[in-house]
Amino acid sequence: MKLRDKAVIISGAGRGIGAAMARRFAEESPRGVVVADLDGAAVAAVASSLRERGIDAVPSRMDVTRREQAHGLVEIAEREFGAVDLVCSNAGVATGLGVHASDDDWSRAWSVNVLGHVYLAQAALPGMVLRRGGHLLITASAAGLLGLPGDAPYSVTKHAAVGLAEWLAFTYRPSGVGVSTLCPLGVRTELLMPGLALNHPAARAVADAAPIIEPADVADAVVDGLADDRFLILPHGEVGEMYARRAADPQEWVAAGWGAR
C-alpha cells in the first residue's frame, strides 16, 4: 500500500513508534490521519505537528480496551476523511512480570495487547470488505515470534497478537484486505528504556539480542513494508534469522536459551 491520498488511523500514537509512524506517514502525503492515544495531550501535540506540515490530522483520546471507542474512532475517521484505508493498531503495554503476575496484570496485558487489536479490526473490517480494499497493521513485537524471558504476560499476549494478524490475513486477504504485523526488537521508547536502566532481565535480553533502534527507523520499515505488502515487517534483520532458527529446531532454541547465537 502506498500512503499518498490515504485515510489513516493510528492508535498508541502519543509517543514512541506510533508518533514516529504518524510523522513518517506525513512525508507520503496522506489524505488525512486520525491519531489516537489514552494520553490526550500527547496525541494532540502529534496532530499539531502534522498540521504544521500541511497534513490534515485529528487527535482523539481513546482507550483501546473499550470496544465502543474503537468503533467511535473509525466513525471519526470516516466523518473527517471518508473511507478508511489503513488502520495501524499500535497500542501496547509491558509488565516486567513472570507467570505469577496478578490477575489484573494479566488482564491488562490481554486487553491492550490483544483485544485492542480485535476491537479495531471489528470496527474497520466491514467497510474494508464492502469496498474490497484497505489494510490492517498490527504492532506486535519480536517477542511474538521468539518469546521473551522476564515478562510472561507480554510474551504470551504478543504471540497472540501475531496469531490474530495471521488469522486475519488468512480470512480477509481473499476479500481484498491486506494485513501486516510489525515485529521489532529493541526500540528506544518508554516501553524498553526504563527497564534497561534498571537492568531488568527482559529489557536486558532484548538489548543483548540486537542493536536498539530509533522509533523513526521502525517507521521507515513500516512504510517500506506496506509498500511491498509484507505480512511480517521486521525492522531488525536479526529477527528473521532468529525466527528461522527457532522454527528449524525448537528444542535447541529452548535448550540454548532465548536469543542464543
Residue range 79-101: average pLDDT?
A: 97
Confidence of residue 255 (pLDDT cuts 50, 70, 90): confident
**Three-state DSSP state, 65:** coil
Domains present along the chain, CATH in parentheses: 7-256 (3.40.50.720)
Cell (9 digits) for 261? 547465537
For 187-220, the pLDDT digits (tens) are 999 989 999 999 999 999 999 999 999 999 999 9
Give the three cell numbers for residue 115: 483485544
pLDDT tens profile 222-250: 999 999 999 999 999 999 999 999 999 99
Contacts of 256 (CB under 8 A, 6+ apart): none
Handedness of CA 31, 37, 40, 44 (dihedral sign): negative
pTM: 0.95
154 flagged as catalytic: yes
List pLDDT tens digits, range 23-43: 999 999 999 999 999 999 999
Which among 119, 154, 172, 243 is annotated as catalytic? 154
How many whole angstroms separate alpha carbon 95 and alpha carbon 75?
32
